[in-house]
Amino acid sequence: MSLDWSKLNIQQWLKDAIGSLGFQTMTTVQASAIPIFLQNKDVVVEAVTGSGKTLSFVIPIIEKMTRVEHQKYHVNAIVLSPTRELAQQIDKVFQSVLQFNPEENGIRTQLILGGVNTLEQDLETFKKRNPHIIISTPGRLQELIKSKKIKTTDLEVLILDEADRLLDTNFSKEMDFILASLPKQKRTGLFSATISKAYETLHKTGIRNPIKIKVNAKNNKPKSLQMYYHVVKPEDKLNLMFKILTEYHFQKAMVYFPTCVSVDYYYQFFKTLTQYKDQLKFFSLHGKLKTPARLKTLSNFDASNDGKTILMTTDVASRGIDIDDVDLIIQLDPPTDPDSFMHRCGRTGRAGRFGQAITFLNEGREEDYINFLEVKDVDIEELELPFEKGVDLGLTSWNLQDRARHDKAVHAFVSFVRYYTKHSVNSIFRVGNIDWSSLAKFYGVTRLPSMPEINKKDSNVSEFIGDYDFEKWEQFKYLDENKEKARVDELAKEKKKFERQEIKKKKEENSAWSVKVGKKQARNEKNINKRDLELDMKGEDDNESEQEMDWKDMIRAQKKQKKNEKNDDIAQFDDL
């Protein structure tokens, strides 16, 4: 296989552009996918992270666009991405090549993302720009097609980048609509580092006899990526992470948190750690932020070049993101989707650059994850740390300064538990195996919340963490005066309600007692009458000893006698 760009059957200006961008030779995936895609075949391409899949579809698309007869408001190529960040990045790759197009305004792209412009604004731009290529996410593309303002009958190419993600159930509504709306006669290309899961849903794309291209890599990872795990107690994770961040040499790190709430929560806390202010610079990126803020954060992180920079993020930035200089990945917890593991690690060690990815595993059952990865042929080594876990960062005491912080901590804690229940490898990640106290310390939670997953009656589970108790809990204040007043008022109301309930309960108990006494008396009288009656019936002498005999004993004796008689009957019956 030739890796020489000049051997490709593409426009000379495209070859020059590639040269100007500094890509001297093709990567293996480019050398195998580009010629086939140019030959009008459908392709399904699987190659490890950072191997250059983007150019594998960008170059053939541009080449095809040089030959189409573009009609007004007709779109000729669509590239879909599961996230807005990735869509923006793909658009940048198109621009980087198209800037060398000698025909000014020759091939036009439009990046269309939900949450940035309104649909009307996007349609307005579409009308003005009249693009050949649209790069979008499924939600907004669906809206565009529904608007009927864009024509897709001339569509030549459809690309699903991170195809397995686009074809999973999360996007099925949008994708079903989009795929049903597009013409059948087109070339389709599916790209991902993990495509095997998508084979089951391939038929949905309408793809026929695709050429499957799989670029095998030793241990299913780029050579330049080193992967490590470290087994740790949840309560030690944060300190250890800071120790790594301060001791390791790196330029940019991405730290994966399980949920958006935890990114927000720890980001607020990390900002207060003034001792690291000059050393570590944090950014936060997650799916609950507004799109413009997300895109800005990512480009600021990309542009940052002073000191060690850390992007605190979630799975929203697990796929496709290509940022130079990211040389360290830390996963505080493994992802719920095992495929995501390689995508997260693959944000470093890209295109031959060296990178390390460290994954923390909770002590106990989670250690089985190593075997699980080995079975999947993922080569991961244990990380030997030359230092201790590091000093306590004071998260709990920071929390105890304001009840609002604790509320947020509980929110993050609860969202983690929900996250944990979503693990697809649920034989390893079992809620029942969580060390609640240690997890609470990791989140700086001093009182475990009430949730069905936590059995507070279990003798191994303590509701209050450390030396915290109910009294301290009641006195725990909000810094915000209004909030605190509302809490105190609410507490007083609850106390009153409780007192009223107690009084009512007591009253009920008292009345119940008099009723009980009455009933007992009545019962006694009845019993006396019964005994008299029985004594009469037996015709026994009314002597004192007999009178003193408890009538119950008599009944018991009678019963015993009857039973014996009955037993005698049975015995006789048996004899027969």
CB under 6 A: which stretch of 43-51, 219-227, 256-264, 541-549 binds ligand ATP? 43-51
Q: Where are the beta strands (DSSP E) in 332-417?
A: 355-362, 381-382
> Which CB atom, from 322 or from 333, has the smaller least distance to ligand ATP?
322
> Tokens standing for 286?
């997650």
Site for ligand ATP contains 83 (CB under 6 A): no
Stretch that binds ligand ATP, among 20-28, 200-208, 215-223, 354-362 (CB under 6 A): 20-28
- The rounded distance, in Å, linking the Cα atoms of 474 and 462 is 17
How far, CA to CA in Å, does 99 sit from each of 92, 132, 365? 10, 15, 53
**Closest CB 336 distance from ligand ATP, rounded Å:** 19
DSSP H or E stretch at residue 254: strand 252-256
Please classify residue 310 by burial: count the beta carbons closer than 10 Å to its beta carbon, then call 0-12 exposed, 13-18 middle and 19+ buried: buried
Residue among 210, 320, 338, 349 that touches ligand ATP (CB under 6 A): 320
Task: Please report how close the Cβ of residue 50 comes to ligand ATP at its closest, in angstroms.
Answer: 4
The DSSP result for 227-247, as a single string, is EEEEEE-GGGHHHHHHHHHHH
For ligand ATP, the binding residues in 463-522 under the rule CB under 6 A are: none
CB of 23 to ligand ATP, least distance (A): 4
Instruction: Kindly state the smallest distance separating residue 193's Cβ from ligand ATP, in Å.
Output: 4
Kindly tell me which of 341 and 416 has the beta carbon lying closer to ligand ATP: 341
* Closer residue to ligand ATP (CB): 305 or 401: 305
Determine the Cα–Cα distance for residues 319 and 254; give it in Å rounded to an integer: 12
Q: How far is the CB of 226 from ligand ATP (least distance, A)?
A: 16
Question: What residues contact 478, with CB distance under 8 A and at least 6 apart?
Answer: 402, 403, 404, 484, 487
| Smaller CB separation from ligand ATP, 350 or 406 | 350
Stretch that binds ligand ATP, among 26-34, 105-113, 195-203, 266-274 (CB under 6 A): 26-34
Closest CA to 488 of 479, 499, 477: 477
Q: Kindly indicate which of the ranges 113-121, 345-353, 405-413, 546-554 contains the residues binding ligand ATP, using the contact rule CB under 6 A.
A: 345-353
Beta partners for residue 341, in sequence order: none
Pick 222 or 258: Cβ nearer ligand ATP: 222
Kindly list the distances between the CA atom of residue 2 and the CA atoms of 10, 32, 212, 218, 475, in Å, as whole numbers in the listed order. Answer: 15, 9, 19, 21, 73
Helix then strand then coil, in percent of the chain rounded to 5, is 50, 15, 35
- Cβ 68 to ligand ATP shortest distance, Å: 24
User: Based on CB atoms, which residue is closest to ligand ATP, 221 or 447?
Assistant: 221
Q: How far is the CB of 145 from ligand ATP (least distance, A)?
A: 26
Q: Does 344 bind ligand ATP (CB under 6 A)?
A: no
Residue 140 makes CB contacts below 8 A (sequence gap 6+) with: 112, 113, 114, 119, 122
CA distances (Å), origin 575, targets 112, 178, 291, 566: 96, 87, 92, 14
Q: Is 32 in the site for ligand ATP (CB under 6 A)?
A: no
Q: Determine which residue in the list 123, 351, 431, 549 makes contact with ligand ATP, applying CB under 6 A.
A: 351
The least distance separating ligand ATP from the CB of residue 333, rounded to whole angstroms, comes to: 21
Contact stretch for ligand ATP (CB under 6 A) within 270-278, 343-351, 392-400, 413-421: 343-351
Task: Report in angstroms how near the CB of residue 317 gets to ligand ATP at its nearest.
Answer: 11
Which segment (51-59, 206-214, 394-402, 448-456) binds ligand ATP by CB under 6 A? 51-59
For residues 207 and 321, give the distance between their C-alpha atoms in angstroms, rounded to a whole number. 27
* Residue 446 engages ligand ATP in binding (rule: CB under 6 A): no
The set of residues, in sequence order, having a beta carbon less than 8 Å from that of 247 and lying 6+ positions away, is 387
Nearer to ligand ATP, 357 or 370 (CB): 357
Binding flag, residue 340, ligand ATP (CB under 6 A): no
Phi/psi at 159 (nearest 5 deg)? -120, 130
Q: With contacts defined by CB under 6 A, name the span among 47-55, 206-214, 272-280, 284-292 that binds ligand ATP.
A: 47-55
**Distance in angstroms (rounded) separating the CA atoms of residues 60 and 82:** 21
Please report, as residue ranges, which positions from 157 to 196 form the binding site for ligand ATP (by CB under 6 A): 193
- Among 6-14, 346-354, 443-451, 531-539, the segment contacting ligand ATP (CB under 6 A): 346-354
Q: 191 to 250, contacts with ligand ATP by CB under 6 A? A: 193
What is the CB neighbour count within 10 angstroms for residue 296? Answer: 14
Which residues of this protein are in contact with ligand ATP, per CB under 6 A?
A: 23, 26-27, 30, 47, 49-55, 193, 320, 322, 346, 350-351
